[in-house]
Amino acid sequence: MALVTLRRNLCHLSDFRVYGALVALRSLPVNPTNKVVTGHLHPWFSSLLPEPARVLSHPVCGKNFHSENGNNLAPLGGQRFPQVHDWDALDQNFKNEGEQLFYRRLNSLTSWEEVLSFLSTLEILPVTWAAGALRRICEVEKGDSDQRLSKEILENSAFQALCFQLEQQLSRLSNTDLVTALQTLSLLHVNHQSSLVLNLVAECQNRLQAGVLEASNLCLLGETLIGLQDPGCVTLGLIIHQLQGKKLETFTPEDVVAIYRILQTYSDKVNQHQTFLNMINNFSLSVVSYLSPKSVSQVLAALVVLDQTQAHPLIIKLGRYAVRHVPHFTNEELRKVLEAFIYFGLSDRFFTKALEQLIVSHCLSLDPGVISRVMEYCSRKLILSKPIFNAVAETFVCQSEKFSPSQISELIEPFGKLNYLPPNAPAFFRKVENVLFTDFNRFPPKMLLQVLHSCSLIECHPVNFLPKIFSPFFLQQLQGEESYLDRLNLAQLTQLFLTSVLECPFYKGPKLLPKYRVKSFLTPCYSLETPVDFPFYKSVMMALIDLLGKRIYFASKVLTPYCYTIDVEIKLNEEGFALPFTANEDVHKRIALCVDGPERFCSNSNHLLGKEAIKQRHLRLLGYQVVQVPHHEVEMLKSRLELVEYLQGKLFPQKTSVLW
């Protein structure tokens, strides 16, 4: 007779110390149903040299078994001994229970010391648990930062033992655990040339070539190889090829984001995968609502790199979901979203409203790069958001030293372009002037000219800098290695010179040489004026003919000697009679009629753009009577007759009837 006592000890659950089973066998023949553990199990990290596989027994708690012949065991209570398959099921239950307890305790730990200390209490550590422990170290040490693993961790003997066990038992890891382990080491910035990382990569490549990786494993492996900064075009190409063979329904939202990031590295060969990319673009419409703020920014950034302008429905939907994530984006994520909005020309009033709330409340804590992108977004879409502009102006006064020259240029330009002076304008432009004086040589010539020209648009004339930018030395720097100066730069220089003559008569410094002056500000691509809106312009022309009687009494699109083009010019004699536009004598007054369509105003606003405001300002100083005909006033009129009466009131406010 032999008495076998199997005892299960999971006491002290809070410490989760799992001890090996104590098995007492008395001169019994080997039975297939017996689970034998020979010797005492030592802690896992103290004996990692190659050895026969160890067996973990899961003893039954509180049961005494009696055997008559050493072969037929039965419980003392009369129950029959379980068959072999019952033992297997029992082992599996205990294995699952132990795994759950292990991960529950592991996830409660908050530092790498606690993780390694916890592992040292375990008698054995399956390789899958080792992979989980490594992942937990990554979670508690890295967090949301991009820091490298500290030298103290790397040199810790228990951590080295953990890595050694993984390296020795790679073949026992599941596909998911294998790829996850490689991703973890990549995130922890472990030396990419270490034997563990190289062996993990080799094992992943072997399984990739064998075609046994599922879609999620392929996506995770692709992202990880990109993070290792030496992905290998062949490997990534094979991953993309195998992904194309997977069913779209098997892709999770995380997989979709990973696919975009993988294809992003293949941007130079995007045409080869455009069919697959089109399928992903269409499928992504169904997963946008499940994407996190980080994922939304990553997909938008990838679409920019891949130049997916044809994926308009996806871009629009991502833009709408980005609105609700604005308060939750990190600085980098928000910057990527803004760049995508700028690149694809997106504009959303709810997105702008969310930006206003963010900028007003957190502008001082935002990265200068994000602030400059917000201003660029407003500038590109002609959005005059006074809360944003005011908050940015205040931030620049307080933190100007944080901004680079390019960021300063991107910040200043919208104020001039959209013709807006913030409440703290004196302090704001005094700070701009101080920064330019201090770091004048840090600004590239074209960037410096852009800043000074933007200031002049809103009557903040950079008189102290005019001698420098009109000098031959600066003009030579501006030209650089090109054989000629850029047309836009010449137009900006000419307008600054005209500003110095008309608005700064006290300026007595160097003048801009005639060879650097343009003849017209209205030129294709480099215009400092906005062309007329032709349908609106045509309707005004027809009403003018009705008002004045003949087409001869006004001229259209007249180029003045001062570079500006007048939409409509009307000449009057001393008595107020309209003269033919060919007349050069007896001209007492010249009327410059500005037919201002929607393109000459800020978006959804009646606020005139900076380049149109300076044009009208200069025309008045040149002696013209400027009469503005804005589209928002004309659109309120119901008939052509009302338009004629409207123009009469604008052109001849003192007369009850028109003379010609």
Does 439 reside within a domain? no
Q: How many domains is the chain built from?
A: 2
What is the model's pTM?
Answer: 0.78
What pLDDT is attached to residue 97? 64
User: In DSSP terms, which residues pair with 65 in a beta bridge?
Assistant: 4, 75
Residue 149 in any domain: the answer is no
Supply the pLDDT for residue 553: 94
CA distances in angstroms from 362 to 92, 227, 349, 356, 533, listed in the order given: 54, 31, 20, 10, 40
Which residues pair with residue 571 across a beta bridge? 579, 590
Cα-based distances in Å from 302 to 238, 248, 566, 604? 20, 19, 45, 31
Dist. CA 467–CA 449, nearest whole Å: 13
Q: Note whether residue 541 is domain-resident.
A: yes
**Alpha-carbon torsion, ordered 559, 565, 571, 574, to 10 deg:** -100
Q: Measure the CA–CA gap between 114 and 121, rounded to whole angstroms.
A: 11
What confidence score (pLDDT) does residue 233 get?
A: 60
Query: Is residue 199 situated within a structural domain?
Result: no
Q: Specify the 3-state DSSP secondary structure of 2.
A: strand
On whether residue 195 sits in a domain, the answer given is: no
* Whole-angstrom distance, CA of residue 408 vs CA of residue 428: 12
DSSP conformational letter for 63:
E
| Rounded Cα–Cα distance for residues 25 and 70 (Å) | 10
Please state, as a whole number, how many other Cβ atoms lie within 10 Å of the Cβ of residue 270: 15
Q: In this structure, is residue 477 part of a structural domain?
A: no
User: What are the tokens at 351?
Assistant: 């997105």
pLDDT at res. 229:
66
Phi, psi of 215 (to 5 degrees): -60, -45
Residue 586 lies in a domain: yes
Q: Is 33 helix (H, G, I), strand (E, B) or coil?
A: coil
Its domain, for residue 92, covers 2-108
- Residue 625 forms part of a structural domain: yes
Q: Which of 73, 108, 143 is the last residue of a domain?
A: 108
Residue at token pair 């690149």: 343
pLDDT of residue 260: 95
- The ranges of the chain with pLDDT < 50 are 1-85, 87, 90, 94, 656-660
Asked whether 378 and 392 are in contact (CB, 8 A), the reply is no
Residue ending a domain, among 84, 108, 132, is 108
Alpha-carbon span 323 to 350, nearest angstrom: 7
Domain boundary among 77, 108, 139: 108
